[in-house]
């Protein structure tokens, strides 16, 4: 039952993100202003809640990403992704062509053809469900 609920929740979130991306790409100016006024506060509060859960503890570990046997030092991947997408101007990390490290590529110039705003790891809600 938990897996079914989790799948429903994931689908709903992916569909909402897809809808917002489509609106950002296709809506007229007046609709964009309306959507921005209603959705930006919700999105920023959502990011704040996620980042608060990943705020480092007194040892400098992320309490959410750490386990009893493996400590995850801050900044964890959640903070790194937040910085990449909120501060660094929408740069997405892509594997280096030669497989040596990672490089940043502006989302609109991605070679894989994904539209900006798509999740960096999963290209569709259905794929997210299939891989979980």
Pick from 6-15, 28-37, 73-82, 123-132: least confident: 123-132
Q: Is residue 77 part of a domain?
A: no
Provide the β-strand partners of residue 103: 94
Q: Is residue 106 part of a domain?
A: yes
Residue with tokens 């990943």: 54
- Quick check: 91 and 107 in contact, CB under 8 A? yes
| Three-state secondary structure call for residue 59 | coil
Q: Is residue 18 part of a domain?
A: yes
Tens of pLDDT, residues 60-106:
999 999 999 999 999 999 999 999 999 997 555 544 444 444 444 34
Single pTM value for the model: 0.62
Q: Is residue 83 part of a domain?
A: no
In the chain, how many domains are there? 1
Q: Across the chain, how many H-helices and E-strands are there? A: 4, 2
Residue 132 has pLDDT above 80, yes or no: no
CA distance 27 to 10: 25
Q: Is residue 30 part of a domain?
A: yes
% of the chain beyond a pLDDT of 70 = 67
Residue span of the structural domain in which 96 resides: 2-53+90-131
Task: Please report, for residues 34, 37, 91, the alpha-carbon distance to residue 123 in angstroms, rounded to integers and kept in the order given.
Answer: 27, 27, 17
Residue 55 has pLDDT above 60, yes or no: yes
DSSP H or E stretch at residue 100? none
Backbone phi and psi for residue 11, each to the nearest 5 degrees, phi listed first: -60, -45
Q: Is residue 101 part of a domain?
A: yes
Q: Is residue 61 part of a domain?
A: no
- pLDDT of 107 reads 42
CA distance 121 to 57: 27
Nearest to residue 8, comparing CAs of 119, 128, 120? Answer: 128
Q: Is residue 29 part of a domain?
A: yes
């Amino acid at each position: 039952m938990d897996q079914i609920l989790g799948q429903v929740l994931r689908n709903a979130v992916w569909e909402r993100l897809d809808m917002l991306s489509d609106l950002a790409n296709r809506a007229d100016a007046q609709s964009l202003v309306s959507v921005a006024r209603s959705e930006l506060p919700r999105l920023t509060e959502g990011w704040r809640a996620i980042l608060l859960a990943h705020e480092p503890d007194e040892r400098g570990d992320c309490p959410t990403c750490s386990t009893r046997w493996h400590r995850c030092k801050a900044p964890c991947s959640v903070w790194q992704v937040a910085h990449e997408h909120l501060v660094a101007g929408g740069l997405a990390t892509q594997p280096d062509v030669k497989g040596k490290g990672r490089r940043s590529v502006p989302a609109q110039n991605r070679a894989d053809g994904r539209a900006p705003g798509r999740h960096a790891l999963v290209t569709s809600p259905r794929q997210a469900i299939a891989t979980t």
